[in-house]
Amino acid sequence: MKRLVAGLIQQSCSSDRASNIQKSMAAIRKAADDGAQLIVLQELHTGLYFCQAEDAGQFDLAEPIPGPSTAAFGALARELNTVIVTSLFERRAAGLYHNTAVVLERDGSIAGRYRKMHIPDDPGYYEKFYFTPGDLGFYPIATSLGKLGVLVCWDQWYPEAARLMALAGADLLIYPTAIGWDPADAEDEQERQLDAWITVQRGHAVANGLPVLSVNRVGFEPSTEPHARGQLFWGNSFAAGPQGEFLARASSNAEEVLTVELDLERSESVRRIWPFLRDRRIDAYGELLKRYRD
């Protein structure tokens, strides 16, 4: 497709799974009513961001794929004739779990999945306790709307991930996300963090000549970790074009449904004037496979 209307769902979450899903579905319906053909949900949208603390009981939240969420959102995709990108806590086997994005085709079937490759382990983001690193590689998911380069949150800081998706033929890059501030951070530090987050993803759009959709959660979520201050998720979901230009951007503090039209033909014209793929020195990049050049 040459032109594609995308919907970005930015929402807050609670501990009530049914309520979260109902809220997501209502937002999906609104986006579809506004003409969205592709609708993207934020990272782990069925519940609270439980990775703020290490708690083995949280593994009970995981579900198989296919499973209840893919059935429910698949039925909605079929009803609305839309492609939906979900983000789920996957139970692959006992003791083996992934942070997994699942793309649902317009007929409700599973078009493909992506398991988060880069797993953080920082205060408030103890994901290594919960998630096994992905093993499906960096390959776009083919849909009736194009090839979707789906990545997840921490992946958005890595130019290698975006590049590999582009080299595999992705038509756009998609980042379901859960990122926020420590409420104790100074205002200028919060601004630097947000600015870095936006800048690096716009850089992926520029470096690869592709549109980027980044969808973040919003609102304060407390932590069960003693003395932790919780996370204030900063929203700011956005769409950028292949030169990094803003096409749409949400606020930092409100639930929003954004719709934006993407002109996929612009990637062709932008890559003709900025031919980064042509000029790559693939003969000189071998040391990228090293952890560090000592």
The residues carrying an active-site annotation are: 43, 116, 153
CA-to-CA dists, residue 206 to 15, 140, 270, 280, angstroms:
38, 18, 9, 14
Compute the distance between CA of residue 70 and CA of residue 89 in angstroms, rounded to an integer.
12
What is the token pair recorded at 82? Answer: 């839309």
What number of CA atoms fall less than 13 Å from residue 32's CA on the CB side? 16
Query: Is residue 45 a contact partner of residue 51, using CB atoms and an 8 Å limit?
Result: no
> How long a stretch of residues is the chain?
294
What is the token pair recorded at 27? Answer: 């937002």
Compute the distance between CA of residue 71 and CA of residue 104 in angstroms, rounded to an integer.
10
Compute the distance between CA of residue 218 and CA of residue 10 in angstroms, rounded to an integer.
7
**Angle in degrees, 0-180, between the axes of helices 17-33 and 68-80, rounded to the nearest 10:** 20
